[in-house]
Amino acid sequence: MAKTVMFEPLELYNLLNQHRSVSRLAEINYLCLIDAREAQDYEVSHIITAINAKVDSEGSFLLPEALEVDCMQHVVIYDGNTSCLEEQGRAVQCAQVFAQVSFHPVKIVRGGFQRFSALYPFLKTEKILYTIIELEGLKTYPVEIISGQLYMGDMKQSTDFTFLDDLKISAVITISESDTLECHPMKLSQAILNVPAAASEGPGLYSHFEKICEFIGSHISTGSRVLIIPRQGGSRCSAVTIAFLMRHFKYTLKEAWRHVLKCKPNMMPNVRILQQLSDWELHTRGAKETEVSELLPQTKEPTA
């Protein structure tokens, strides 16, 4: 029997917005998202791709017939507003049923639909059934690194003003692949920082860490939200995000790495950039506390 754990709204948001060539929600064994509220509440509005939990004549929750729960990588359940396991609300009761067959922890969204929909109203829907084509075509938002403050995305997301408006992004950092500054489409209300970081040997991205951290810090301290994007690839985008977490929260490289990896499992800073982050750890903490070799098994060869 799997264990039952609480799951933050930010974690579900990031789970819903993972993508490879298309949204990962199109993968049949990726996410089992269950709405444990009453059917009439579900039909009014629910989180995108969620299915309503069925109950028998005695009110006991049933496993969905169309899903092989034991094959799912993620099983997530929410009700109206459950905030802890001790409440024994509908989400907890439903999770106990799913935990009997799941191979992975069954996650209950803290604060339920009430809290999630308040934070991410744009991920509510009335739609119940999706075709694979529709799931593949779902747009994915930038992942959220710090709740309501810092996001990491790609070039396509940064030029979609719907995304920027929904997330209330007011500042954008672009990491380019060359030493030339490039223009980025933006609204007049947005601040932008273009960082030229060539892939050639030398100080590279490290020389920009201080300026980037100051830019992010100055904006989030006033309640602004910042989006970091790369011009090509995601290596530098991840590295800049890690560098800020190390500076802002005094994280070790390993702690910051794990945080970003949890938000975006397919991130992959290359070995050269990891060495620059190791130097940054020395600068921010006074010692190199993380062995880069500990992170290498999860790091792929340079994709820049």
E-state strands within 10-103: 31-35, 46-47, 51-52, 54-55, 61-62, 74-78
Contact 94, 106 (CB under 8 A): no
Same domain for 116 and 226, yes or no, is no
156 and 277 housed in the same domain? yes
Number of compact structural domains in the chain: 2
* Shared domain check, 43 and 190: no
Q: Which of 136, 153, 186 is the last residue of a domain?
A: 136
**Is 21 in the same domain as 92?**
yes
Strands 46-47 and 124-125: antiparallel
User: Residue 76: which CATH number?
Assistant: 3.40.250.10
Residue 3 CB-density burial (10 A; 0-12 exposed, 13-18 middle, 19+ buried): exposed
Last residue of a domain, one of 103, 136, 169: 136
Query: Do residues 27 and 135 make contact, with C-beta atoms less than 8 angstroms apart?
Result: no
Dihedral, CA of residue 177, residue 178, residue 181 and residue 183, to nearest 10:
-40
The H or E element spanning position 9 is: helix 9-16
| Residues forming a β-bridge with 51 | 34
Could you tell me the CA-to-CA distances from 71 to 92, 264, 265 in Å, in that order? 21, 22, 19
Determine contact, residues 285/250, Cβ cutoff 8 Å: yes
Phi and psi angles of residue 34, each rounded to the nearest 5 degrees, phi first: -115, 130
Task: Read off the tokens for 265.
Answer: 């499992």
Residue 267 lies in a domain: yes
User: Which residues of the chain fall below pLDDT 70?
Assistant: 177-189, 197-203, 232-234, 297-304
- Are 149 and 284 within one domain? yes
Of residues 80, 99, 100, the one with CA closest to residue 90: 80
Asked whether residue 77 falls in the same domain as residue 215, the answer is no
Residues 157, 287, single domain; the answer is yes
Same domain for 131 and 259: no
Q: 290 and 166: one domain?
A: yes
φ and ψ of 33, to 5 deg: -105, 120
Provide the residue type at 254 as one letter.
K
Say which DSSP state 300 is in.
Answer: P
Q: Please report how many Cα atoms fall inside a 13 Å half-sphere around the Cα of residue 48, on the Cβ side.
A: 20
Q: The domain containing residue 245 runs over which residues?
A: 143-298
CA distance 216 to 46: 33
- Asked if residue 47 is part of any domain, the answer here is yes
Q: How far is CA 66 from the centre of its chain?
A: 27
Residues 128, 152, single domain; the answer is no
pTM here?
Answer: 0.92
Is there a contact between 176 and 196 (Cβ–Cβ < 8 Å)?
yes
Listed residues 104, 120, 136: the one ending a domain: 136
Domain assignment present for 303: no
Domain containing 163 — which CATH number? 3.90.190.10
Helix axes of 9-16 and 253-263: crossing angle, nearest 10 degrees:
60
Encode pLDDT of 244-256 as tens digits: 999 999 999 999 9
Structure tokens at 288: 């190199």
Give the H or E element holding residue 126. none
Which residue in 79, 71, 72 sits closest to 55, CA to CA?
79
Is residue 260 domain-shared with residue 183, that is, in the same domain?
A: yes
Same domain membership, residue 148 and residue 285: yes
Query: Does the residue 304 lie in any domain?
Result: no
Look at residue 268 and tell me if it is in a domain. yes
